[in-house]
Structure 1
Amino acid sequence: MTLTVLITGASDGIGAAAARQLAPHGHRLLITGRSRDKLDAVARETGATPFVADYARLDDVRRLAEGVRAELGGDSLDVLANNAGGIFGDPARTVDGHEKTFQVNHLAPFLLTELLRDRLGAAGQASVINTSSVANRLFGNIDLDDLDNERTFTANKAYGDAKLANILHARGLHARYHDTGLSAVAFHPGTVSTNFASETTSLMRFVYQTPLRRLALISPERGGATLAWFIENTSWESGAYYDQRKRKAPNPQAMDDALVKGLWERSASLVGLA
């Protein structure tokens, strides 16, 4: 079965690796990333349609949604892989006024998913796949009254909260839309050797950006294979969290239905959705 798939964060790392692995299977691929040069190189390799977008700007996300809708024409979108993300250093604010880690990892994909939701499952079944992280258990502790971590900011906590938000988002999608044919899942791809921690002051930088990466991390190809597996398979359980391809228990906060609902409502308000 061929699919129409949008992969965000596909200019390098596991998003690019997944696109390369999916391309020979005949799927229609749409890819996004910040770097035009890197994205175009992946597009040439895979035959994918590229869209440049910076998730630190929500207007870029809105333009991305418009571009994807125009590209789709009357077609539906079968899979949205919300894979873009990163860990950053200081509690910098975006042009939209949000802490950057929270916006790039959660608010931007939340907004994109809602702007494309009517195209997801338009032909029956569709899926949303959120790339989370084991950091949700290690560092996550969401406070709905302090989503930007103004009181308790550390790079690790901000990232853990955002990755926990990815799971809460998947559970919210399942609760709201599963009866319409939309499934959603969040997964940890493994600790992958990419440049995702290049902009952080966190100690993670010393694992990801030094020779330690060769000892401690798996390859982007292996992480990309896991993302590709979720894209092409339907054997996973909607609303669940997986560590690579095995279902695991997430941070206990992820199972709080009131927090799922509360985060959804706050997120919708923050990105300007009714």
Structure 2
Amino acid sequence: MNLAITGPTSGIGAVTFQELCPAFDQVFLLARNKEKADLLLKSLPQEEQGKVIFVSLDLADLDSVKNAAQTISNNTKSLDVLINNAGGIFPKKQITKDGFELTLSANHLGHFLLTHHLMPLLLKSDGPKVINVSSEAHRAAKVDFLDLNYEHHRYSSFNAYANVKLFNILFTKSLVEKYGEKGLASYALHPGVVNTNFGKEASGIFNIFWKLAKPFMISPKEGAQTSIFLVKSKLSAKQNGYYFKNKKPMVPSGSARSKDIRNELWEISEKMLKNWL
């Protein structure tokens, strides 16, 4: 059994990585920071360290994403689980070297591209899974597909984040529609409001909310449990494509359930990524 996980060097990603390592024969640790990855690796028991392969990945650099997928392909013939865990909220509008707004690239486009290039490996597995870490913030999304780079609307860090968390759920359902009959299972989840360094990058009202919510937040260990549950559990085929919270299926927003919106997102994502697909 082989696992690949993005964003494993801190927060819920680190806990997810540490707790799942014993269940897999090979684990691909996809991260930007090699030093943090090395420290994480040293936190594992000695017998677990040899199964981990560090793969350099910057989700805001689409060449890096494509190279990461190739590295994984060079090291295994199949992949059982892909956890698209990495994410971020950014206080100021930034455009990546590829020409995309940073929140969009780091939370959606990078994972869309990574999953696309790893799909052949996933489909060679017996019962492959793609797990996308979303958020209840998706309920506040207000998407304008004609202005995903905020060229015409005023940039809002929270709006940009809410939109991509919606995209995570839409992407999950699309994966099931396109690959479910080939054996793929895909789930999205809300990890909870977790006490990590995540919110420190936010600004405005969201930053104020984050500080006020700090005393009520759950630990990274608690926040990782739904991801771990989805990896380890054999769920009903009826639940394929579902959105989970506290290890239970939840009904997401109306937009997250819209076939028209998810089809539009898929089409636009492919157009944006045409040079890397």
TM-superposed CA distance for 1:26, in Å, is 4.5
* 1:113 has 2:115 as partner: yes
TM-superposed CA distance for 1:27, in Å, is 4.2
The Cα offsets for residues 78-110 of structure 1, whole Å up to 9 and x where unpaired, read as 000000101111121111111111110000000
Aligned partner of 2:4 among 3, 6, 11: 6
* 1:141 has 2:142 as partner: yes
TM-superposed CA distance for 1:53, in Å, is 1.6
TM-superposed CA distance for 1:35, in Å, is 1.5
The Cα offsets for residues 64-85 of structure 1, whole Å up to 9 and x where unpaired, read as 111111121xx21000000010
| Equivalence map 1:21-32=2 (5 Å) | 21-32=19-30
CA gap of 1:204–1:234, structure 2 versus 1, over 3 A, is farther
TM-superposed CA distance for 1:206, in Å, is 4.3
| Contact 2:172 2:188 (8 Å CA) reproduced | yes
The alignment covers a number of residue pairs equal to: 267
CA RMSD between the two structures = 1.8
Distance 2:125 2:20 in 1: 21
Q: 2:80 maps to which residue? A: 78
Distance 1:181 1:222 in 2: 30
Amino acid at match of 1:25: A
Amino acid at match of 1:142: V
TM-superposed CA distance for 1:28, in Å, is 2.2
Moved over 6 A (4+): none
Secondary structure of 1:115's aligned partner: helix
Aligned partner of 1:55 among 37, 51, 59: 59
Distance 2:4 2:115 in 1: 11
Amino acid at match of 1:227: S
CA gap of 1:235–1:148, structure 2 versus 1, over 3 A, is same
The Cα offsets for residues 33-71 of structure 1, whole Å up to 9 and x where unpaired, read as 222111111223332221122211111111111111112
TM-superposed CA distance for 1:176, in Å, is 0.5
Aligned partner of 1:196 among 186, 195, 198: 198
Distance 2:154 2:42 in 1: 44
Aligned partner of 2:124 among 111, 122, 125: 122
Q: 2:225 maps to which residue? A: 225
Amino acid at match of 1:90: K
Distance 2:97 2:232 in 1: 36
| Equivalence map 1:174-193=2 (5 Å) | 174-193=176-195
Q: 1:166 maps to which residue? A: 168
| Contact 2:2 2:24 (8 Å CA) reproduced | no
Distance 2:192 2:261 in 1: 26
Give the gaps of 5 or more residues in structure 2: none
Amino acid at match of 2:12: I
CA gap of 1:35–1:181, structure 2 versus 1, over 3 A, is same
Distance 1:219 1:268 in 2: 36
Amino acid at match of 1:186: A
Distance 1:142 1:212 in 2: 26
Secondary structure of 1:144's aligned partner: coil
The Cα offsets for residues 231-270 of structure 1, whole Å up to 9 and x where unpaired, read as 1112262111112312111121111111111100110111
The normalised TM-score by structure 2 is: 0.91
The Cα offsets for residues 186-208 of structure 1, whole Å up to 9 and x where unpaired, read as 10001111112232224433455
